[in-house]
Each structure stands twice: as structure tokens, then as C-alpha cells.
A and B are shown apart, each in its own frame.
Chain A
């Protein structure tokens, strides 16, 4: 039978195109960024951009070095800001995921609970998380708890909705197939519903993390001078646009790096799914 050699050939061909795509994946964005930075620098040198509004890339580079070595405000180095911000995001995110996954799994399996919680979830999701900032301060004060709460709130509802949807969208034929194999009850849930829902749960986890990174800047606006959000606000107050921009870029790079890490994790834990989506891409 020629079926199997055929698949091998197909796999080899797709491995080749994948390698070629990986190479382009790196070069194209690099070229795009280089062109943008060069144009920016050129516009600054020509005097078209005011440094206080758009400091040139070279200035941002020296500000970055200043931030790493001396810190801003004086004595609080970039590493400290990053560590504190990451700690807040990951704590709020971890609590949100730890609550949302089990709750979402239960609610997704029960049409009654789903009908009950759906309006609450829709409403809670549509409240802009940062509009809760004043309330968070009233409830938790201006310390760490308020910041972790805001991040957790934003992440929780996104995660919860995705887990519920993941369980509800499990192909009913898979469940039927399992039932024909005498698999029922908790075994059915563990061995069929859960693995079938995992890809969507994972993509929910990625989206929720993005929410955490969006909320952090606002959450760090009050009661602290440490953390990347605080850094941005503080620098803005003193017209250090350069520091604000470096802070923004660091947040972007962090978020990107963590999302990439989650993707690698997904590829490792859900090999069927990662390969499927890579093939589809």
C-alpha cells in the first residue's frame, strides 16, 4: 500500500516549507523594524519631530542604558520595575486561572448553571476593568492587593468565558463515540471532554494573559513608584517621554516573550493541536 510513504513525503515537504517560513518569519519583521527606526531617526535629525514628543531612537537607546544602570526614578533600576510588574501580573493571572478553570469546567457541563452565569459573565466582562480602579482602592487600599485584584478581575472573566465555551463546543460525536465504548461519568469527563476542550482553554489562557498586560499600566497608576506602569506615569509627569517610551517597549517585549513561551508550552503539551494549527497557518 502506497498510503504511508505518501504521508511521509507530505510531511517532509511541509517540514521544508516550515523551515523556509521560520527563516522569513525572522527576516521580514527585522527589516520592517529597521526601516521604521531609520525613518524615525532621519525625521528627528531633519528637525521634523520635536524631541520632547518623539525622542529619536538613539536617545531611547541611551535612556535604556540609563534605566538599566542608574534607574528611574533614581535608584530604581529597570530590573526592579520588571520584577515587580511581572510579580503582580503573574499573581493576579495565576489566581484568575486557578479559579476560572475549575468553575468554567463545571459551568460548561451544566446548561442550567451556564444559563444562570452567562448574564453575569457578559456584564462583568463588559465593565472596563480600569473603571473599577476607584472601587479597588476603597476595597483593598492603595497597596498590592488592589493591583492584583484588578489584574485578576480582568483575567478571570476572559478565562472563565473561554473555558465555558471550550467545554460547550466539544464535538458531541466524540462523546457519543466514547459512550459506545462504555466510558461515562467522570471517566468521560477526564478522558474525553477535558482533552477535547484543552486547545480552546489554552487559547483563552493566552488572551487572558494579554488582558493582564493591558491592565497593569492602569493598576500601577496609584500608590506606587515601582513597576513598569508606575515608571511610565512617573516619567510622563516629568516630561521624560524617552523613559515612557522605553517603558512601553519593555512591556511589549515582556508580553510578547510570555505569549511565545505559552505557545511553546502548548506545542509541547498538545502536540496534535500545535501541529494542526501550524499546518493551517
Chain B
């Protein structure tokens, strides 16, 4: 139901071969066991195709089901109806090349920054020396060279999220799923981290699904913004952002998009 999709995002289907669809969310519905039977479900019937290397932002108010949808794509939760395919394979469990960055980082506090990243690299079956090298390389990529031996509690919130991003990249995932990764950061750090993420994304192209409730964050980051409304969780806007990066908040096109997304959220 790509109802409001702009022409830049063709509906994938037979004959459309412009770009491969990495993630196919097909009529996914979710109802929690604790919900009243007559209550509207957390997710109605949501369908989204995410193309290779596309940066999709899911935007919506609290409770619109965006995090639930992300968890279903990650394989951390099962949908009540419908299915998610990543590279044509139905998602039944987490892992297998799906990197996840959580809101609070979820770093292992007993491991140093480098050990946290190396821990993820281990799941790829790499020998220990290679894991260390990858950890050093990825920490440098996220701007944390020199902080390898620090424990998470010695790092600021922004630095912890950098480690979390490096750790997700250490899985060498096809897709990167980010659940409000900068939501707990102060505004200045947040802007810094958005730029940093775009820099990393440019260096390591990934298909990204990014959840946020910040319109600005969506406009700065996204190739495509999908706005969700609550109960039942459903798509109310699916808009490609074809503007070049970096994007200024004061840009006339950005402001116009802000207005239309704000309208969709009402």
C-alpha cells in the first residue's frame, strides 16, 4: 500500500528491475497478547519495500508501532500476520546479517569498546587477531580511535552510540536497523551524530531503516520518509527526499517537506 509514494520510489513487482528490494515488509500486522480483543492492533497491515542501499526513516508519534515494526524486521518479534523478507528469505529470527542499533546502545558493560565490537565480529567466525583488527578499524571509522580500551561507563552517551554503530557494522550486515539511536542524546551531540552517521553510511553503503520521532532528523537523513499513525499502526505518508546532502534546515525545499510531514502527523 504505497499509496502516497512519489515517482522516485517505484512499486516493486514483476518487471520493475531498477533496484533490488532488500527488505520486503508484506502486509505485516501485530497484535499483542495483552491487548483487549476489540482494541485496534499495534500494526494494521503495513507493506513497505526497501531497496538496496536505501536510507528509510520511519517517523511517527510514540505508540504508532514503528519500534514494533523495526523489531519484526530484526526478527526480535514475530508478526501476528504477514511476513518480512530480507533478500527473499522470510525473517524468523534475529542475526544473519541484520545489524541493530538500540536506543540506549545496549553495550556490554563488562567489555571495553574494542571488545564490544570484536564480540560482534566473532559471530562471523573470524579468528581473534582479525576481530581485533576489525574492531580498531571500525572504531576509527566512527571517530573513536584511541578509545579502544575504555569501558562503556567511561564514554559519553554520544561516544557509546558510536561504539554501538561500530558494533553493528562489525556484523558486516546487509541491513542496518536503528531504533531511535540518538533519542537519548542532547541536541548538539545529536546533530553531530547525524552527520557522523551520514559520513559512515557514505563509506559503508548499507540498507538502513531508521526509527525516530524527530521530523528534522528524518529530513536530514532520509532517502525516503514513511510516516506512521497509531492504532492501528498504518502508513499515512511515504515520501522520497531527493535533495542532496548535507541538507540545511533553512533550505526552502526542506521547509516545504517539513510542512507536509507535519500535516501528515496531525
Contact = CB atoms under 8 A, between A and B. Distances in A.
Interface of A: 1, 3-4, 7, 11, 171, 173-174, 176-177, 179-183, 191-192, 195-196, 198, 270-273, 275-276, 279
A181 B104 CA distance: 17
Given A1-B143, A177-B102, A270-B110, A183 B156 contact: no
B98 A180 contact: yes
A272 B109 contact: yes
A180 B99 CA distance: 7
A176 B94 contact: yes
A180 B153 contact: no
B40 interface: no
A7 B155 contact: yes
Contact of A275 (B95, B144, B151, B156): B151
B156 A182 contact: no
A178 to B, nearest CB: 8
Interface of B: 74, 76, 93-96, 98-100, 102, 104, 106, 108-110, 119-120, 122-123, 143-144, 146-147, 150-156, 158-159, 168, 171
A4 B102 contact: no
Contact of B110 (A177, A180, A198): A198
A137 B105 CA distance: 55
B208 to A, nearest CB: 15
Most chain A CB inside 10 Å of its own CB: which residue of B93, B94, B122: B94
Contacts of A1: 143
B94 A179 contact: yes
B153 A275 contact: yes
27 contacts: A3-B143, A3-B158, A7-B150, A7-B154, A7-B155, A11-B154, A171-B106, A173-B102, A173-B104, A173-B106, A174-B106, A174-B108, A176-B102, A177-B108, A180-B76, A180-B94, A180-B100, A181-B119, A181-B122, A181-B171, A183-B123, A195-B108, A195-B110, A196-B109, A196-B110, A275-B151, A279-B153
